[in-house]
Structures are given as structure tokens and as C-alpha cells.
Amino acid sequence: MFISSKKKLDPKSWNIDKSWTLFLDRDGVINERIMGGYVRTSEEFITLPGAVESIAGLSDVFGLVFVVTNQQGIAKGLMTESNLQEIHRSLTESVHSLGGRLAKCYYAPGIAGPENHLRKPKPGMALLAQRQHKMVVFSRSVMVGDSDSDIVFGKNLGMKTVRIRTVEAIKVEADLTLESLAEFYNFFES
């Protein structure tokens, strides 16, 4: 059972400003997720309604915006890093064309396993972002994702967490649950 996001909490109460960082999962948050499959090409990368506009707007709210995405389809040979980089280049350009900025798209190309420290819920991508961008402070960060691994990733690092609803069963509650990234952005528009 979900509690209405408006009744649960307003993220404005988190006092977010330009010193904060936004981490975004990709599939299911920014673009349509292929359940049981992988977005392998630019043609299969279909953005969700209002997602790109929301990223552009949120880049005016947050000091830095990153994408952090598990992409084991690379290790499985279903796509190449070049395919993935083209998708991320196109996304970054789309956000930029709307006056926004996406600092970087981090990805974990390896197979899921205990030794894979980049893959969420392990902290590798966030730690890499922090090493490359000194202003990243996890207690002043928000993770937006649609899976338990996204929420655990954020919680383990001390971030605020926002879940975008999905068909998957939820075992880990986020600080806030919403229908879309656009709904999250709407809190900051006024």
C-alpha cells in the first residue's frame, strides 16, 4: 500500500539548494524500462513523458545531476560500451538543448556479483562521482530510482531517496514514492 506522496512529505522540506547533488537511475526513471531485457540502442531508448524537461529543470535546483545505471548487458555481449555512450551522449545533449546540464552518466558494465563494486546497490558509482566532483556530499544528495537496489544504494550512503513506482514488488521503502520524475520536479517549480 502506498501513501499519497503529497501527504507523506514535501521534498522542499529537505532544504535542497545548489550544494545538493541529484543521482538518477536511468531505466524506469528517465526512459521506458524493458522488463527482463536491455535498452541496447538509441532507437530503443524512449524517454518517459517530461523526463528530459524535468532533468533540465532539476539542474537549476541541484548543483550537480548524475545518472547512475547498472548495464550488465555490456558484459553479456548484448550491447557495446559504444552503444551505451551514444545513448548517454544523446540524453546529455537533449538536456543541454533545454538549458539544463547533466554532469555525467556513470554505468556499471559488469555482471552482478559480490565482487562488482560499481553495480548498485554497491556504492562504487557514487564514490567515483564524489572523487571526480569534490562538492558531492552524500548527506546532501537525493537518489531517484525505481528498484530496491536504487533505494538501498541511496540509503546506504545516507542520501534522501525517491522511488518512482514500478510493477516490481517493493521490499525497501523510500523516503518518498511518486509516479514519475516529472512529479518530483513539480515540487520545485513553484
Catalytic residue among 17, 27, 146, 175: 27
Cell 559480490 belongs to residue: 114
Check whether the bond before 11 is cis (ω within 30° of 0). Answer: no
* DSSP codes of every residue in 49-81: TTHHHHHHHHTTTSSEEEEEEE-TTTTTTSS-H
146 is known as an active-site residue: no
Cell 558509482 belongs to residue: 125
* Cα angle for residues 50, 158, 8 (degrees, 5° grid): 55
27 is known as an active-site residue: yes
Catalytic residue among 25, 148, 150, 175: 25
Helix (H) or strand (E) holding 107: strand 104-108
Residue 27 carries which side chain, given as an amino acid letter?
D
Catalytic residues: 25, 27
